[in-house]
Structure 1
Amino acid sequence: MRTSTADAADPIPPYLRIAGEIQERISSGELRAGDRVPSARQITKEWGVAIATATKVLAALRQEGVVRVVPGVGTVVDTPQAAPPREHNRDTELTAALVVRTGMAIADAEGLAALSMRRVATELSVPTMSLYRHVGSKDRLVLLMADAAFGEAELPDPPPAGWRERLEVLAHLQWAMYHRHPWVVAALSISRPEPAAKLLAHTEWAVHAFDDLGIDPDAVIYAHVSLFSYVRGIAVNLELEAGVRRAGTPAEPWDVHEPEFEQFLANGQYPTLTSLNERNDFQFDIDKLFDFGLHRLLDGFAAFVAPRD
């Protein structure tokens, strides 16, 4: 009885681990097209899990297209999955780090929508279910990818002395990271944060900047989230622009719709905008926008902490 597979302390769901082991039997040729795979009852005996878990194993294999149900026979290996995967470098051991790097490469090139466990497995020439043994699930993979992206933004040691300087360095590191990996904006949630080492390192850096200013603990957290949200919010536009480029749509300059705007301004309903337009030849630069907003946000933090500094 393989109790290690069903270990409750394992972060990977037991049914996914068992499904991965069965798919490896198929890929290795131990189970061939048309062969019966272990039934739910056989799975409960061999791996020491409940019948509900065994049922989920078979459901996962069916969902991946690995097996099919034959009336009167049972669950058998499906023909398209019978052949072993195409050749890949056996000297390169499949690891969580390799899966994460491959996922990041896909997201960088094609966006997060293109990412799937099946796609990563195809790139690595391994069975799809084998990935679950290393990263647990697609959601877990995306979190590990985002954490790795933040890990590239190395925080300087020693840090700048002042709180404002620390936060400015932090924001610029994150902004550069979003330039490299714009998909990260869609991988993180402000309202449902998940723990990850590199992400927590950025959080620690931010909250430490306010450590000796006598600010209420709630205010420290909200200040950190406000800064994080500002950088991420502007970076949404980087992700949108990346999607436009991937779609092959020509990038439009800021003033491409200037004739239409001129028609709106000509009717006199927007006098302030009309005056600004006449006084200034504005050229949009998203990096300048980021810096302008960041400095105004830090100015607001400075006014907030000034009585306590």
Structure 2
Amino acid sequence: MTTEYSGGSDPKRIMELLWGAPERTRRGPKPRLSVEQIVAAATAIADAEGLAAVSMRRVAERLGVTAMSLYTYVPGKAELLDLMLDRVCAETAKPDDVPGGWRPRLELVAREAWALYLRHPWLLHLATNRPVLGPNLIARYDYELRAVDGTGLTDVEMDLVVQMVGDYVHGAVRGALAAATLPVDSGKTDDEWWAELSPLLEKVYDADRFPVATRVGAAAGQEYSAPLDPARAFEFGLARLLDGVAALIERR
């Protein structure tokens, strides 16, 4: 799927849309729609069909209006993508009231990001190297930083830790979503795939040549009853990642 990029919108107009600047004076009948309705419709399309399916025309069809009428609310797709990104950022829970110090708070940050990607897989195809700083996105960044505030880390280290956790979740959830959709995309379950491959592999595989892979692969396959277990891998990796943050904090 083609990657889309945030931050390509008209700066002045997107700031007005994101931060609730006074509505422009409109002549004629009362507006039929709101920006929130348009963004919600676009998000629903992306959730169901992917980011590539989102267009001003498709959103207009969903809302029962003409595509041209949408441009009086949102200038174009670039602004729409930025609004969608900021809108879904409001869904993540804030870790301020989580007891137990920085670790459970940062763990919640990771789990909320994981859940957000699962609800909105199209986020994986929206690059945010130049994020438009809307109120929900900034609020999310603020409470993610608060998870490690007061730990002795420098401000730059706090930013890097939050970025590291986000990058980890992004990579882990990509594999999880690919595994989840593979049976549908391929038309085969994991068991069906293995039943077809196994007899062919046995004809060429030499266990003595790959002793460690044979032993570990057999143990993992028996444990997971599948080629891999993305959720378990996420939990294991997150724990090790937080162990590393703990070591950094202890050195401070």
TM-score band by shorter chain is 0.7 to 0.9
Q: Where do residues 12-51 of structure 1 align in structure 2 (5 Å cutoff)? A: none
Task: Tell me the equivalent position of 1:272.
Answer: 212
Question: Conserved in 1, the CA contact under 8 Å of 2:106 and 2:148?
Answer: no
Point out the structure with max Rg over C-alpha: 1
| DSSP-derived class of the 1:152 partner | coil
Question: Conserved in 2, the CA contact under 8 Å of 1:143 and 1:187?
Answer: no
Q: Does 1:172 align with 2:108?
A: no
Q: Does 1:235 align with 2:182?
A: no
Question: Conserved in 1, the CA contact under 8 Å of 2:46 and 2:53?
Answer: yes
User: Judging changes above 3 Å, is the alpha-carbon distance between structure 1 residues 162 and 290 closer, same or farther for their aligned structure 2 residues?
Assistant: same
Task: Tell me the equivalent position of 1:295.
Answer: 239
Question: Conserved in 1, the CA contact under 8 Å of 2:106 and 2:144?
Answer: yes
| DSSP-derived class of the 1:133 partner | coil
Q: Does 1:110 align with 2:110?
A: no
Question: Conserved in 2, the CA contact under 8 Å of 1:111 and 1:243?
Answer: no
Q: Does 1:147 align with 2:86?
A: yes
List runs of 5+ in structure 1 lacking aligned partners.
1-7, 13-27, 29-89
- Aligned partners of 1:160 and 1:199: how far apart in 2? 24
Identity of counterpart residues, as a percentage? 34
Shift of 1:265: 4.6
Which of the residues 136, 152, 157 maps onto 1:198?
136
Q: Does 1:219 align with 2:221?
A: no
- Aligned partners of 1:155 and 1:251: how far apart in 2? 40
| DSSP-derived class of the 2:73 partner | helix
Shift of 1:174: 1.6
Which of the residues 18, 22, 37 maps onto 1:98?
37
| DSSP-derived class of the 2:68 partner | helix
User: Judging changes above 3 Å, is the alpha-carbon distance between structure 1 residues 243 and 131 closer, same or farther for their aligned structure 2 residues?
Assistant: farther
Aligned length: 223
Task: Tell me the equivalent position of 1:69.
Answer: none
Shift of 1:110: 0.7
Q: Where do residues 42-191 of structure 1 align in structure 2 (5 Å cutoff)? A: 93-156=32-95, 158-189=97-128, 191=129
Task: Tell me the equivalent position of 1:306.
Answer: 250
- Aligned partners of 1:166 and 1:141: how far apart in 2? 31
| DSSP-derived class of the 1:126 partner | coil
Query: Structure 2: which amino acid aligns with 1:173?
Result: E
- Aligned partners of 1:148 and 1:94: how far apart in 2? 17
Shift of 1:91: 9.8
Query: Structure 2: which amino acid aligns with 1:154?
Result: A
- Aligned partners of 2:11 and 2:120: how far apart in 1? 33
Query: Hey, which bits of structure 1, 4+ residues long, moved more than 6 A?
Result: none
| DSSP-derived class of the 2:13 partner | coil
Please give the TM-score of this superposition, normalised by the length of structure 2: 0.76
- Aligned partners of 1:132 and 1:243: how far apart in 2? 35
User: Judging changes above 3 Å, is the alpha-carbon distance between structure 1 residues 279 and 109 closer, same or farther for their aligned structure 2 residues?
Assistant: closer
Query: Structure 2: which amino acid aligns with 1:194?
Result: V
Query: Structure 1: which amino acid aligns with 2:156?
Result: D
Please give the TM-score of this superposition, normalised by the length of structure 1: 0.63
Deviations 1:145-195 (A, max 9, x none): 122222122325534341111111111112112111111121242x33331
- Aligned partners of 2:186 and 2:33: how far apart in 1? 37
List runs of 5+ in structure 2 lacking aligned partners.
1-9, 15-27
Shift of 1:295: 0.9
| DSSP-derived class of the 1:134 partner | coil
